Amino acid sequence: MTRGTRQPPRPTAFLNARLIDPTSGYDGPGGLLVIDGEIADLGPDLGRSGLPADAIEINCNGHCLVPGLVDMRVQLREPGEEHKETIATASEAAAAGGITSMVTLPNSDPVIDQVAGVEFIARRARETKGTKVYCYGAVTRGLEGQHIVELGLLAENGALGFTDGTKAVASARVLRRAMSYASTFDLLILQHPEEPDLASGGVMNGGELATRLGLPGIPRDAEVMMIERDLHLVAMTGARYHVAHVSTADSVAAIRAAKARGLKVTCDTAPPYFILTEAEVGDYRTFAKLSPPLRGESDRAAIAQAVADGTIDAIASDHAPHDQESKRVPFAHAEFGIVGLETLLPLSLELVHQGRLPMIELIRRLSTRPADILRLPQGRLAKGAPADLLLFDPEAKAVIEVDRFRSKSKNSPFDGRPVKGHVLRTLVDGRTVYEAYA
């Protein structure tokens, strides 16, 4: 071999797997062949007529082989707060969680409101060579809610959509202008749905518990009010609109009605909103401080039902890493958010183990639908598709241990929770980026 000549990667055959592909509707035994980073062949008969002579054969032992998870809402903290997380550490955590693509919010420092910011994320992702990393652009300059960014230019350079991150675009006039422009170029607008004046100063769900704890509350109505306003703007402009981390029954009802009217609306939620309630705050437990806040039992049940019936299109991790100094403070002063990359799959699997959702529908919420909304080619098992894959054992018992997280930050209210579901291998473009027990 001539010095410097690079051998092409050998074909890899995954045999004896349970293939699950929401796009085709297939959920059954089979195998999958990867060549040059793409899915070359798959199905129940793979291998019966032979495989490439140099193929590496991997016995999946009947475990689930599915499209890699597409996480449409994460905060990477780079640039600006690398002591909390970096693209490299988040990518490692995502791979361990079975996530092969993730999209970061633009609320970094500096804000991603110019082409240079989009290019920075793309360059760092290439250098990291792990999970695929994309970004959203801000809707307004500096997230200040006043002046719209150059949406078309940022989209041309790779921004998958536009949002002011953890802040709502409060001005109906500004959002209408952004939606009108986005509609012209068929771009996606995402909203953090919280009426800012009504939520101002609040630190947890408004209600009896907040009163008893002496903490200022955020009314449930602050969420649905913003959504209903925005839906009027969607009807006016025809824009593609996505509601992030839905947390109340009223919000679900509004979105369900808008979908029935034919509006271009989609939404996501995160595992805490269908697993936990505001009771988790307990005695001022800051790891349970989220935005939007954890709600009551009726809202939790409504979110779980909306995931099951498909009103909620996608489940995202809503990964929001914070260091000890940001959380080990009085509740009112603690930062909002929890980490989620490494718990997204096992926590979401609780819906399957509870009998609320078939496995194939869960994979649709975690992979196929977010890829569709973001217009990515991932999220499906098909010939020619990127070999972004997840192999996992859905029955393996485990306990969440935050000290073992790859993420730099450990802020999670799920520490010590028993779960079922274990990632065995994660591949991006055919490359193994995580392997259990390796």
Active-site amino acid positions:
318
Structural tokens at position 134: 């994309």
For 390-415, b/e burial (b = at least 16 CB within 10 A) is bbbbbeeeeebebeebbbbbbbbbbe
What is the C-alpha separation between 175 and 245, in angstroms, rounded? 19
What is the C-alpha separation between 136 and 208, in angstroms, rounded? 37
| Residue among 361, 376, 235, 231 nearest 306 (CA) | 361
What is the C-alpha separation between 10 and 36, in angstroms, rounded? 8
User: Quick one: the chain helix, strand, coil %, rounded to 5?
Assistant: 35, 25, 45
What is the C-alpha separation between 363 and 164, in angstroms, rounded? 28
What is the C-alpha separation between 106 and 75, in angstroms, rounded? 8
On whether the CB atoms of residues 206 and 218 are closer than 8 A, the answer is: yes
Helix (H) or strand (E) holding 201: none
Looking at residue 283, its amino acid is: D
Question: Is 313 annotated as belonging to a binding site?
Answer: no
On whether the CB atoms of residues 68 and 21 are closer than 8 A, the answer is: no
**DSSP assignment string, 130-180:** SSEEEEPBPSBGGG-SSSB--HHHHHHTT---B--TTS----HHHHHHHHH
| Residue listed under structure tokens 């309630």 | 277
Structural tokens at position 170: 């409060």
Structural tokens at position 50: 């032979």
H helix intervals, 146-248: 151-156, 172-184, 196-199, 208-213, 221-237
Question: Is 192 annotated as belonging to a binding site?
Answer: yes
Question: Is 333 annotated as belonging to a binding site?
Answer: no
What is the C-alpha separation between 429 and 299, in angstroms, rounded? 39
| Residue among 175, 310, 315 nearest 255 (CA) | 310
| Residue listed under structure tokens 């193929």 | 55
Question: Is 337 annotated as belonging to a binding site?
Answer: yes
Helix (H) or strand (E) holding 410: none
Question: Is 83 annotated as belonging to a binding site?
Answer: no
| Residue among 263, 260, 354, 341 nearest 307 (CA) | 354
Please give the annotated binding residues for Zn(2+), written as ranges: 192, 245, 318
Please give the annotated binding residues, written as ranges: 107, 192, 245, 318, 322, 336-337
Please give the annotated binding residues for substrate, written as ranges: 107, 322, 336-337
